[in-house]
């Protein structure tokens, strides 16, 4: 089991979120990219899109499967990681860093506190396997 960063929050669908002020960065967890295997394509949302919490905003395609990605919180997409268009493998190499997928402006910061902590997520993944 890889390190699960303490400063992030997590969903049961294996997304992570890092909040800085009103803007949050979202990606998929290291566990998710490991399960998927080599990622060959990331479908990104459109900047300006309004997302509801738990709504699918894109997908990650690997040699094994295509998986929807869900927004951990409601908000407006302010930026997408366009580097993933040419280098989707960044998600495999650095899920919590260069492999981020989108940034969004939080509609309701309270939603973040309801997500899993690193300890909760580690326990959840452990129970799953």
* pTM score: 0.95
pLDDT at residue 128 tops 80: no
- Start-to-end CA span in the chain (Å): 11
- Collect all residues with Cβ–Cβ distance below 8 Å to 86 and sequence separation of at least 6: none
Tens of pLDDT along 73-122? Answer: 999 999 999 999 999 999 999 999 999 999 999 999 999 999 999 999 99
- CATH number assigned to the domain comprising residue 104: 2.40.50.100
pLDDT at 3: 79
In a domain, 42, yes or no: yes
Q: How many domains does the chain have?
A: 1
Does 3 or 41 have the greater pLDDT score? 41
120 in a structural domain: no
Residue found under tokens 């969903």: 11
State phi, psi for 56 to the nearest 5 degrees: -70, 135
- Whether the pLDDT of residue 1 is over 70: the answer is no
Residue 17 domain boundaries: 9-110
The answer to the question of residue 122 being in a domain is no
Q: Residue 124 falls within a domain, yes or no?
A: no
Structural domain includes residue 103:
yes
Query: Residue 22: inside a domain, yes or no?
Result: yes
State mean pLDDT over 117-129. Answer: 91
- pLDDT value for 2: 58
Coil, strand or helix at 86: helix
CB atoms within 10 A of CB 66: 12
């Amino acid at each position: 089991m890889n390190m699960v960063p303490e400063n992030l929050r997590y969903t049961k669908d294996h997304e992570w979120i890092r909040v800085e002020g009103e803007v949050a960065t979202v990606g998929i967890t290291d566990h998710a990219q490991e399960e998927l295997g080599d990622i060959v394509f990331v479908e990104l949302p459109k900047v300006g899109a309004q997302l509801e919490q738990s709504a699918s905003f894109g997908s990650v395609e690997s040699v094994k499967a295509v998986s929807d990605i869900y927004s951990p919180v409601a908000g407006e997409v302010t930026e997408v990681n366009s580097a993933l268009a040419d280098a989707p493998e960044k998600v495999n190499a650095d899920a919590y860093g260069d492999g981020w997928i989108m940034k969004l402006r939080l509609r309701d910061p309270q939603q973040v506190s309801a997500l899993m902590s690193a300890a909760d997520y580690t326990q959840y993944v452990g129970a799953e396997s």
